[in-house]
Amino acid sequence: GEENAGGNSGTKSTKSITLGFSQVGAESGWRSANTKSIQDSAKEAGYTLKFSDAQQKQENQIKALRSFIQQKVDVISFSPVVESGWDTVLKEAKDAGIPVILTDRAVDSKDTSLYVTFLGSDFVEEGRKAGQWLTEQYKDAAEDINIVELQGTTGSAPANDRMQGFKEVISSNPNLKIIASQTGDFTRAKGKEVMQAFLKAHKDIDVLYAHNDDMALGAIQAIEAAGLKPGEDIIIISVDAVKDGMQAASEGKINFIVECNPLLGPQLMKVVQDVVDGKSVEARIVTEETTFTSEQAKEALPNRQY
């Protein structure tokens, strides 16, 4: 960082903070809202933001982190595309004395001294909320309910955790059966493609659980193209609650959405400031979230920010 010139004598000299941020990519509506939130709030805070888009590839993220280390940024923050394989580069940042803040997605490093904090959602809880709604819907079902699952990016924290939380809850009802699971990489295009394959392979799909809205929206196209009614012939649950997802829910095409808040920027900038100021920060900062049925989506839609 650079010294700010022209500070009044008597006041503490403020240093302009340089933040290196490595983003996952631009795979979804959630991600676009997250990126905008980070860029806007860095600007607002007066930080110099070095922003890098990894296009959903871990190798690109590792390169970006190394370049931030080389540039001696004050703080590094990133949303790790997958959970594993970060120890080496995190150790390099630590050795260089640069604090790292995880946002949105977690890493599975055993050594938690490699990062200051993790700011983001509880994805296991999100999966549980999806499972709880479904379990309630089918509590009186006497026959098998066939569920297909569109998973997020393989090896990512939200894919791992949303699957885990969902499975944990639905296992209480043996009629609820996951008959197929495949990754749709959190994108619309892949969600559509995989749903097409699911529809070909299985004539009797009752429920789709999509790990994000974008994959659900892609799947809706495939379902409609197959002559079926999304939300009626196939019950659809997704996660995120971005505008397009909420729109589909308000039209009854998505039956239930678990919210995942992408507006992490303001909280992140505050944590960055605290870290630079040498204040202690919580090791885990969880964002607050809700859920929406179709009816609730209709009500909330006009005031949705993203």
Contact 78, 114 (CB under 8 A): no
Q: Is 260 a residue that touches ligand GYE (CB under 6 A)? A: yes
Q: Which helix (H) or strand (E) holds 214?
A: helix 213-225
Start-to-end CA span in the chain (Å): 32
For residue 82, which amino acid is it? Answer: V
Residue tagged 């296009």 (tokens): 55
Shortest Å distance, C-beta 124 to ligand GYE = 12
Residue 27 found at the interface with ligand GYE (CB under 6 A): yes
Question: Which string of x and - marks every residue 91-130 that binds ligand GYE (by CB under 6 A)?
Answer: -------------xx-------------------------
Give me 116's structure tokens. 């200051």
Q: What are phi and psi of 183, to 5 degrees?
A: -80, 140
Of the candidates 66, 77, 73, 88, the residue with the CA atom closest to the CA atom of residue 24: 77
Tell me how far, at minimum, the Cβ of 16 lies from ligand GYE, in Å: 29
Tell me the longest C-alpha to C-alpha distance in the chain: 77
Q: Which residues pair with 119 in a beta bridge?
A: 103, 285
- Give min distance, CB of 106 to ligand GYE, in A: 10
State in angstroms the smallest separation of the CB of 105 from ligand GYE.
5
Q: By rule CB under 6 A, what string of x and - marks binding of each residue 144-183 to ligand GYE?
A: --------------x-------------------------
Number of residues located near ligand GYE, criterion CB under 6 A: 13
- Pick from 17, 22, 23, 31: which binds ligand GYE (CB under 6 A)? 31
Please identify, using beta-carbon distances, which residue of 105 and 253 lies nearer to ligand GYE.
Answer: 105
**Cα radius of gyration rounded to whole Å, the chain:** 21
And the tokens for 193? Answer: 């493609």
Interface region with ligand GYE, contact rule CB under 6 A, candidates 28-36, 66-74, 244-252, 285-293 = 28-36
* Between 39 and 175, CB nearer to ligand GYE: 39
CB nearer to ligand GYE: give 62 or 260: 260
Amino acid at 260: C
Minimal distance in Å, beta carbon 139 to ligand GYE?
27
Cα dihedral across residues 164, 166, 170, 175: positive or negative: negative
Q: Do the bridges between strand 117-120 and strand 100-103 make them parallel or antiparallel, or are there none, so unpaired?
A: parallel
186 binds ligand GYE (CB under 6 A): yes
Q: Least Å distance between CB 56 and ligand GYE?
A: 9
Cβ-based nearer residue to ligand GYE, 74 or 104: 104
Q: Any contact of residue 30 with ligand GYE (CB under 6 A)? A: yes
How distant, in Å, are the alpha carbons of 116, 142, 252, 271, 272 from that of 279? 11, 57, 47, 9, 10
The CA-CA-CA angle for residues 98, 78, 267, to 5°, reads 90
Binding mask 199-238 for ligand GYE (x = CB under 6 A): -------------x-x------------------------
| Contacts to ligand GYE by CB under 6 A | 27-28, 30-31, 104-105, 158, 186, 212, 214, 239-240, 260
